């Protein structure tokens, strides 16, 4: 006859606490954040389910994890000596009233119902959705209702693809939404690249004249004290002057090649003439004062009577050039007559010539 097996002894509260501590349960310090309270309570219930813990031990194991403010609160509500022990359901009710009041529950439920994806990714939206769904469990108590709330909060372009498809679970809908979002993002990047290339082609077309006419500010002569920006050499000959150069064409703009100013050529530039060494001019005899009315000499051929001198742009007439001549004291055939002729206000030119004077 085999020996009878004696039933296992009933575990004590101390035995359950030792077994419970081996699972490293989380501590609870109280506070006003309902999310932390819900997270702690959910982890605690998962451990009770793994241990197959009876309800009569849950109160002792739960209150053993209290710290700080939660421990002080438990000291004010736990039953006194001679009172009936508190049950697990009663402890959950007291904890909910303290750390998850009805007003907070309603606020969190409204936040869950109004949750939208917005600028969040699908993964971030799903994490926030699951986090707030614990405050409205009656709204997501079935897979169908949970999928419906999740779909309503998706962004419009993703929702338009998801709507009309059939899913067996919330996880299937979530995986599909992640894939759709990735495809839409890739298509958006490709479209953006194509638009940039199209605008670049429109702005820098094949017509060289259009590129020349669209000059930037760096193409104009630099201001005083500023250095022009260096540009890459251009080997393409200019269509106006026939020479390769960068920037604007000075020949087309009628500018001086030396000082880059308008109104004269390089050979007439005062800056170029000022850099050359010149000998002082010999002083000639003073000219007799004019007896008649003063008139301003004109450049070129003399004007016909009754005509008015005008400039190229029909603006105010410019000042005419002045001619200086020197007379020799002796009528020497070998004498040299020298002087300076100002053709324009900015032009100085030397000239010399042999002159033969014969008596009248």
For the chain, strand residue ranges (E) read 336-341, 349-354
Q: What's the rounded Cα separation, in Å, for the pair 345 and 261?
A: 14
Q: Which residue has the higher pLDDT, 281 or 106?
A: 106
Residues near 100 by Cβ (< 8 Å), separated by ≥ 6? Answer: 34, 37, 38
Closest CA to 346 of 279, 275, 264: 264
Cα first-last separation, the chain: 175
How far is the CA of 318 from the CAs of 108, 246, 311, in angstroms?
A: 85, 33, 7
How much is the pLDDT for 360?
A: 43
Domain boundaries of the chain, sorted by first residue: 13-100, 268-273+327-360
Q: 256 by DSSP, 3-state: which? A: coil
b/e for 266-277, b at 16 or more Cβ within 10 A? eebbbeebeeee
CB 177 within 8 A of CB 122: yes
Question: In the 8-state DSSP scheme, what is residue 254?
Answer: T
- Which pLDDT tens digit goes with each residue over 292-324? 444 444 455 555 555 555 555 555 555 555 655
Pairwise CA distance, residues 64 & 68, whole Å: 12
pTM, rounded to two decimals: 0.44
Average pLDDT over residues 31-57: 88
pLDDT at 319: 55
pLDDT per position as a tens digit, 83-101 = 888 899 999 999 988 988 8
Highest mean pLDDT among 144-148, 266-270, 297-301: 144-148
Average pLDDT, the chain: 74
Q: Residues of 64-99 as b/e, b for ≥16 C-beta within 10 angstroms?
A: ebbeeebeebbeeeeeeeeeeeeebeebeeebbeeb
For residue 336, list its beta bridge partners: 354
Phi and psi (nearest 5°) for 339? 180, -170
With cut-offs at 50, 70 and 90, classify the pLDDT of residue 3: low
Task: Note the pLDDT tens digit of each residue in 186-222.
Answer: 888 888 888 888 888 887 764 545 455 555 444 555 5
Name the 3-class secondary structure at 110. Answer: helix
Question: Rg of the Cα trace of the chain?
Answer: 50
- DSSP-assigned states of every residue in 168-194: SSHHHHHHHHHHHHHHHHHHHHHHHHH
Of 92, 6, 110, the C-alpha closest to 55 is 92
**CB atoms closer than 10 angstroms to residue 301:** 6
- What CA–CA distance (Å, rounded) separates 284 from 329? 10
For β-strands 349-354 and 336-341, DSSP reports them as antiparallel
């Amino acid at each position: 006859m085999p020996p009878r097996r004696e039933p296992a002894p009933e575990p004590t509260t101390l035995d359950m606490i030792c077994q419970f501590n081996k699972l490293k349960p989380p501590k609870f310090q109280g506070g006003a954040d309902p999310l932390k309270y819900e997270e702690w309570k959910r982890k605690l219930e998962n451990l009770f389910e793994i241990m197959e813990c009876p309800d009569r031990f849950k109160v002792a194991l739960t209150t053993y994890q209290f710290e700080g403010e939660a421990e002080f609160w438990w000291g004010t509500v736990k039953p006194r000596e001679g009172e009936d022990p508190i049950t697990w359901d009663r402890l959950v009710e007291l904890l909910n009233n303290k750390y998850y009041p009805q007003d907070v529950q309603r606020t969190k439920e409204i936040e869950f119902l109004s949750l939208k994806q917005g600028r969040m990714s699908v993964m971030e939206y799903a994490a926030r959705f699951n986090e707030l769904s614990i405050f409205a469990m009656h709204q997501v108590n079935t897979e169908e209702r949970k999928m419906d709330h999740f779909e309503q909060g998706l962004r419009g372009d993703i929702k338009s693809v998801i709507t009309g498809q059939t899913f067996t679970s919330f996880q299937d809908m979530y995986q599909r939404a992640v894939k759709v979002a990735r495809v839409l993002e890739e298509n958006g990047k490709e479209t953006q690249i194509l638009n940039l290339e199209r605008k670049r082609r429109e702005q820098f077309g094949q017509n060289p004249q259009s590129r020349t006419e669209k000059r930037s500010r760096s193409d104009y002569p630099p201001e005083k004290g500023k250095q022009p920006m260096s540009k890459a050499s251009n080997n393409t000959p200019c269509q106006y002057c026939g020479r390769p150069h960068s920037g604007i064409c000075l020949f087309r703009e009628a500018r001086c090649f030396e000082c880059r100013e308008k109104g004269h050529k390089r050979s007439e530039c005062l800056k170029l003439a000022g850099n050359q060494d010149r000998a002082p001019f010999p002083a000639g005899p003073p000219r007799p004062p004019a007896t008649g009315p003063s008139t301003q000499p004109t450049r070129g051929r003399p004007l016909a009577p009754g005509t008015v001198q005008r400039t190229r742009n029909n603006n105010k007439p410019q000042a005419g050039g002045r001619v200086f001549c020197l007379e020799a004291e002796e009528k020497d055939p070998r004498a040299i007559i020298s002087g300076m002729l100002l053709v324009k206000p900015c032009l100085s030119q030397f000239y010399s010539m042999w002159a033969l004077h014969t008596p009248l």
